Structure 1
Amino acid sequence: MNKSLSTRLMYSFMALIVVIVVGVTAGISYFIADYFFKIKEQELAQKGNEMAETIEYFMLRDTDRTTLHRYIVAVDRLVGARIWLFDNKYDLLAASLVNTDEDADGNKLIRNYNSKEGTELLGKEIKGGNLSTKVRSILKDVYSGKSVKSQIFHPYYKEQVMLVGVPYGKQDGAHGAILLAEPLSGFDSFLRDIYIYTSIVGVLALILSLFMVRRLSRSIIRPLISMKDSAAAIASGDYTRKVEVHGEDEVAALGRALNALGNDLSAFVDKTERTEKIRRDFVANVSHELRTPITIIRGYNEAISDGTITDKEMIQRYRALINEETIRLERMIRELLNISRFQASDELTTGIEPLPLAEIVRNVTEKLMVKSVKRHVTLVIHADENIAVVGNGDQLVQLIMILGDNALKYSPDNGTISFTAVRQEDGSVLLSVADQGPGIPEEDLPFIWERFYKVDKSHCRNVPGTGLGLAIAKEIIRVHGAKAQVFSIPGVGTRFEVTFPKEKVVLC
């Protein structure tokens, strides 16, 4: 069964809290117990060593051992440890003990061994059965002169105790053993209280984690759901669906990335649609532009070949028209081939040299002068004579000719066209051609570099040209490593700017 992300987060948090609580509890319990046992063992061993000297004194002077019993009971009450005193033959000499037992009916019976008679009774009980193997092993180590520290389940007290055994007697050999047994029931109760407390804290932490996880999961899952819906919308072709992004975390970054992807896909689809439209228009325009001169050539040629036209002047006129259309068709094919050749290369490979830009601008304006004079259009040149651009001379002439010719075509009579070539502060060179024509609408600016693209076809029917000039100019600019910008205000004019990088600039 698949679980939601919020459920998995909740289980993960709860498991983490359980592990932390259990680990902290186990660690604290271990360190507390270790510290407690070390302190108690040292305390009991110290008290046992102190008792050894006193017990030796009583063993020599107190024949009935009554005072010895009282001393052991007093130490028991002072230290809180039950004390057994053995001789070197595993016989119990004295004991401090208050123990309880139950009879056959379940009633508690108090057996008091805090007397000589009680010790003898306990000794008989021990001798009546076998002395615990564990206690016998401890006594054996003590008889050999060692101090023993151990935690055992006492076979007579029926509970877990901390047992310390120390020898007493002369240095040349032990006369007996002192066993001090402190019950661990109090410490176990203390640990139980810790476990109860940590359990309560753990339960409260689990409850708190539920609320925290719910809130956290909502803050994470809500944008994820929005991203899922947005991705589904993008997959179905709807790129307008956006993810609501809040904050600066990784989820927000993912949301912004998805929104950016939607924007990029939308732009790509729009560009693809525009490219497809341009392609269709290109095919239609090429077909139209090629079909028109071919139709004219064929029609006039058939008229001449059929003999239907006998007037020599008419025949000569038809031949002139056929020649003009042939030249037009040849120019169109040549320009298409130029565009294809430029697109096939990333940079200039032939005819590269430093070229004086001012001289190229003057040569181009001289060629345009014949057309400009007829329409009373003024050509203004502002060019720096001390700069040269590394490039191909024929292509730069073609570039400036295309820009100048377009400006002349769309300039009104008595207008002004400005040619500028200056060096900028960053070392680059700016070439600009500005006219006072009708301008270009802003929505058409991105497409003016496309082949056969015309801004307003209804206003451009009488403008001569193949519609390939700016497409060729775009490729020339690209292979020269330059950048182009167009600034146009409808009704005011248009300015084309070409910036050559400083790497392409040479000072004369």
Structure 2
Amino acid sequence: MLTSSVVTVLLGLCAVGLVISLFAKDYIVNSKSNEMIRQAKQVNLAIQNQKEWSDRSKEQLHFFDQAFDSRIWIFDLDGNIVTTSSKDEVNVGKIVSKEVINGVLNGEPAIWNQSDGFKEGMLSVAVPWGKDNDVYGGIVLHSPLKGMNETIAQLRETILWVTLLGIFFSFSVSFYLSWTISRPIQQIDKAAAKIAIGDYSERIQIDSKDEIGELATTINHMVEQLARVDLEKRELNQLRHDFLANVSHELRTPLTAMRGFLEALQDGLIEDGSRDKYYEIMYNETIHMNRLVDDITDLMKLENKEIDLVWLAVDVQAMMSKLAFKFQPEAELRGTFIHCYEDDNSPQAHADPDRLEQILNNLIKNAVKFTENGTIELKAMAVPSEGCVLITVTDTGIGISPEDQGLIWERFFKVERGRPVKHKDSSGLGLAIVRELVELHNGSIRVRSELGVGSAFEVRIPLYESRPYVQPLVSLAGVG
């Protein structure tokens, strides 16, 4: 760009300078010729009545010579030079060319370059000498070409300096423009090279508002998008790795136990009276694996948006009473009592009955599992101001530490701190499924817990407001 700009400006200025020089030369010569013709006519006015040449007449010619800075010749009809403005003129008696004579006799001025008889080139003009239609001869004025040549030379020198100045200016401007373009392009190239190797930390710092600035902004935005996609990809790969590792671990544990028991049974190492116990253990392990596979299937369907809800009006209190009745025997084995609070205005939720039951089933199951010799409270109440049904599952179990409360919703996360070994057999998918189901219902869930005191899970499900509340269809008699 720099070279092409300089060459273009150089050629342009040279062409303009050449044209100006040629036109200026013609203009100067034409202007000088017209001026000399006018001067020659003034000389004719002064001498048109003189046919004989006296000393006074020669003095008059000499005066015009000094005034016009031009040599003056006077010639007769035959072209013979009869007198001149110079006292030491050697051209007296010589003959003017026939072309000049014929032009003068026809009344037309003649212009030519004269060099014979002079030390330097002259610009010469000739006009008729006479009065009215009476022509005596012609008047010739010679002006040195040296002055005009010097003027033209000065003009050309000026054009040369202007050309050099133009080249310098165009070089400076082209260099600046080239630099302003090449520098950001180099930054873009550097950033592109880093992007090509997977480094998305580079940003292009270009503050201009032109097309390159817009390109840099677009590339920066693209890099941010690529960085975000790359981060999500790494996180997804990590999640996939963790998922496979957790699934492998969860399946390997019961499979290892079952394999050991089967080998012992196959080798006859177990007495007949103990076989039923081992069979029961293996059966429970298969149930655990089946539950794990079901949970993984549900979670994957939820995350892939493959579950469609059947929206109905659900009597939440009746559902909680039924689940309390279901888990009461298991709770009594742990010395725990389930209290299900009844409300005269049984709230109805806008939800899928099967999925809402799955949510409550997981929450109550966890409460029973981690509560011994305590109580579990189940409540459901309408909150019209928020347009939701507030469902609360509260227990007096071992609780959850503040550090773990934000992690319990992650897949395969298990709270290990402060929990007995017998509580560590869960898959870690129950609360992850609960959260996905609640969000699928456009609801929310949160936990309040304290170690050694207990936990309270609060679920908000949209309220069904298109029909009046009804009394619970199922009540839990004898519980609480």
Cα distance in 1 for residues equivalent to 2:435 and 2:17: 78
Q: Alpha-carbon deviation of 1:331?
A: 2.4
Match of 2:400 in 1: 437
Q: For each residue in 1:329-364, what CA deviation from the matched residue of structure 2 results, as whole angstroms up to 9, or x when unmatched?
A: 222223333345456x5566xx555445xx476566
Q: Alpha-carbon deviation of 1:32?
A: 8.5
Identify unmatched segments of 5+ residues in structure 1: 1-8, 97-112
Alpha carbons 1:83, 1:179 under 8 Å: kept = yes
Q: How does 1:219-368 map to 2 (within 5 A)?
A: 220=183, 228=190, 235=197, 248-249=207-208, 261=223, 268=230, 272=234, 275-295=236-256, 310-311=272-273, 320-342=280-302, 354-356=311-313, 359=314, 362=317, 365-366=320-321
Q: Alpha-carbon deviation of 1:58?
A: 3.0
Match of 2:476 in 1: none
Match of 1:466 in 2: 427
Report the TM-score when normalising by structure 2: 0.57
Please point out which of 125, 144, 152 is paired with 1:188: 152
Alpha carbons 1:72, 1:95 under 8 Å: kept = no
Cα distance in 2 for residues equivalent to 1:377 and 1:164: 134
Q: Alpha-carbon deviation of 1:395?
A: 4.6
Match of 1:437, SS?
Answer: coil
Cα distance in 2 for residues equivalent to 1:485 and 1:402: 13
Cα distance in 2 for residues equivalent to 1:36 and 1:21: 22
What is the letter of the counterpart of residue 185 of structure 1? N
**Structure 2 CA distance for partners of 1:155 and 1:67, relative to 1, 3 Å:** same
Report the TM-score when normalising by structure 1: 0.55
Alpha carbons 1:377, 1:416 under 8 Å: kept = yes
Q: For each residue in 1:178-202, what CA deviation from the matched residue of structure 2 results, as whole angstroms up to 9, or x when unmatched?
A: 6675632331343255257548857
Alpha carbons 2:400, 2:415 under 8 Å: kept = no
Q: Alpha-carbon deviation of 1:381?
A: 12
Match of 2:53 in 1: 64
Alpha carbons 2:40, 2:127 under 8 Å: kept = no
When the two structures are aligned, how many residues end up with a matched partner? 440
Match of 1:99 in 2: none
**Structure 2 CA distance for partners of 1:19 and 1:63, relative to 1, 3 Å:** farther
Alpha carbons 1:338, 1:472 under 8 Å: kept = yes
Alpha carbons 1:488, 1:495 under 8 Å: kept = yes
Match of 1:103 in 2: none
Taking only aligned residues, the RMSD between alpha carbons, in angstroms, comes to 6.7
Cα distance in 2 for residues equivalent to 1:262 and 1:377: 53
**Structure 2 CA distance for partners of 1:430 and 1:363, relative to 1, 3 Å:** closer
Cα distance in 1 for residues equivalent to 2:17 and 2:222: 52
Q: Alpha-carbon deviation of 1:55?
A: 1.9
Cα distance in 2 for residues equivalent to 1:81 and 1:460: 129
Cα distance in 1 for residues equivalent to 2:122 and 2:384: 99
Match of 2:297, SS?
Answer: helix
Q: How does 1:107-118 map to 2 (within 5 A)?
A: 114-115=86-87, 117-118=89-90
Cα distance in 2 for residues equivalent to 1:148 and 1:455: 120
Match of 2:158, SS?
Answer: helix
Q: For each residue in 1:187-243, what CA deviation from the matched residue of structure 2 results, as whole angstroms up to 9, or x when unmatched?
A: 134325525754885798699899x97xx69x949x9589859957984x8x59x66
Identity of aligned residues (%): 18
